[in-house]
Amino acid sequence: MRKNAILGAVLGAMLATTAGATVAQAADREIVIGYQAPLSGDRSQYGEMFRNAAQIKLEEFNASGKLAGAKVAITFEDSKDDPKEARNIAHKFLDNTKIVGVIGDFSSTVSMAAGEIYAAEKMPQLSQTASHPDFTKLSPWQFRNITTQAFEGPYNADWIIAAGKKTAAVIYIQNDWGISALDGFVSGFKAKGGKITATEAFNPGNRDFRSILTKVARQKPDVIYLAMFYEEGAAFAQQREQLGIKIPLYGTSSLYSPKLIELGRESVEGLHLATTFTPDNPDPAVQTFVKEYAARFKSEPGMFAAQAYDAVGIMLDAVAKAGPSVTRESLRDALAATTNYPGVTGATSFDPVTREPAKALAKMMVKDGRFQVVTGP
């Protein structure tokens, strides 16, 4: 008897929610954006940041009244940073006729796995972080709002050469993204007359860099260039300190997170990197976002949260431009026409041919326990 009562209550509650949803739809047209990101598994911290930032942007947008006669909703799916999951999600999103555009995924590998399906079935896809050069080459349906390693690598290489350093060892994570970061940096560094002493890959999930450090220390390069994420970056810097190695560290923007300093402490002092987002930026849009994020989620937003915030913003602005009766086709065209979208990671425009975003990078280093903008080499 008790079991039946509980079952009844649950069913009742479910019916009530469904009824509620139907009423809401009747009142207003609903446009849905799919968001696929790793919400569980060992990259889930990034998915959480994306979801947090996306929620803030979505509420701002719906409250702004930019889109009359319709409300936008975002439906999240957990890709677990797994290409197989991403493909399943892609099919699921395609089957849902309300979904007109997709944001995600996190890593280039997973974004491209889903992207192949979106390309074939004509669904616009915007990744907040996929920086592999091939991602936007999949089809005219792929967009991203992050600078690629083909751009960032040579930029960092110029910076290192300008600082009078001629030799570098590169440590990179063994995945699509890591390899593209390696290629971007190495070609840029060699083009400027620099010499690469070693390129060392490590497998994702590895936290012991002592043997790589020992090997690299033997060659005495002027700098070590890190193409990895902040968890690994913090471990790398700590172990470098334990081994008494003093070679300066430079890294990709993926290291840019308050967590790098929280985990790495003194060992990350002096680490240099270039990034599109700094929470210290006095721009009012940045400060509004930083304050709102901190108030809701009790932490300072890093570059990843900012990337998602802007990706959602770009997508929603495109939806608004395409009007309340938006289709996948019209949304793609509206996305492609994005020019000077005023985001917290700088103004974004898509190149009409390559759909690559043009963005400005800021040079930063860790100084006195926080990221600070550096001017000059």
Partner 1 sequence: MVFDVFFLQQVINGLSIGCVYALMAIGFTLIFGVLNVVNFAHGEVYTIGAFVGLMVITAMAPPLLAVVPLVLAVGAVSGVGLERIAFRPFRRFTDEASQKSRAMREATLLSSLAVSIMTREIMMHIFGGDMQGIPSGYLLQQPVAIGPIMVASGSLVIFATSAVMLGALQFLLYRTQTGLGIRAVSNNQLGARYVGINTDRTIVTTFAVGSMLGATAGILVGLYDGAISPHMGFAPGVKAFVAMVMGGLSSIPGAVACALLLGVSESIATEFLSSGWKDLITYSLLVITLVFFPQGLFGHGRERA
List of residues contacting partner 1 (CB under 8 A): 40-45, 47-48, 174, 199-203, 205-208, 210-212, 214-215, 217-218, 231, 234-235, 238-239, 241-244, 259, 262-265
Going by C-beta distance under 8 Å and a sequence separation of 6 or more, which residues neighbour residue 64?
A: none
CA atoms within 13 A on the CB side of 182: 18
Q: What one-letter code names the amino acid at 291?
A: K
Closest CB to partner 1 among 31 and 110? 110
Strands 195-202 and 167-173, how do they pair? parallel
Q: How far is the CB of 219 from partner 1 (least distance, A)?
A: 10
Closest CB to partner 1 among 369 and 377? 369
Closest CB to partner 1 among 269 and 329? 269
| CA 106 – CA 114 distance, rounded (Å) | 11
Closest CB to partner 1 among 258 and 270? 258
| CA 239 – CA 265 distance, rounded (Å) | 12
Strands 362-367 and 272-275, how do they pair? antiparallel
Nearest to 175 by CA among 118, 235, 211, 129: 129
Closest CB to partner 1 among 208 and 351? 208
Q: How far is the CB of 305 from partner 1 (least distance, A)?
A: 13
Question: Both tokens of residue 280?
Answer: 């210290």
Q: How far is the CB of 18 from partner 1 (least distance, A)?
A: 26
H or E element at residue 26? helix 2-27
Q: In what order do the strands lie in the sheet with 99-103?
A: 70-78, 29-37, 99-103, 125-127, 142-144
Closest CB to partner 1 among 75 and 199? 199
Q: How far is the CB of 49 from partner 1 (least distance, A)?
A: 9
Closest CB to partner 1 among 93 and 304? 304
Nearest to 228 by CA among 258, 260, 186, 196: 260
| CA 345 – CA 159 distance, rounded (Å) | 20
Closest CB to partner 1 among 167 and 174? 174
CB neighbourhood size of 374 (10 A): 14
Q: How far is the CB of 224 from partner 1 (least distance, A)?
A: 14
Q: How far is the CB of 235 from partner 1 (least distance, A)?
A: 7
| CA 89 – CA 107 distance, rounded (Å) | 15
Q: How far is the CB of 85 from partner 1 (least distance, A)?
A: 15
| CA 79 – CA 39 distance, rounded (Å) | 7
Long-range contacts of 207-214 (CB under 8 A, 24+ apart): 207/231, 207/232, 207/235, 208/235, 208/239, 209/171, 209/235, 209/236, 209/239, 209/240, 210/239, 210/242, 210/243, 212/171, 213/239, 213/240, 213/243, 213/245, 214/243
Place of tokens 């999951």: 85
Q: How far is the CB of 171 from partner 1 (least distance, A)?
A: 9
Going by C-beta distance under 8 Å and a sequence separation of 6 or more, which residues neighbour residue 97?
A: none
Closest CB to partner 1 among 39 and 335? 39
Q: How far is the CB of 116 from partner 1 (least distance, A)?
A: 26
Closest CB to partner 1 among 52 and 139? 52
Q: How far is the CB of 47 from partner 1 (least distance, A)?
A: 8
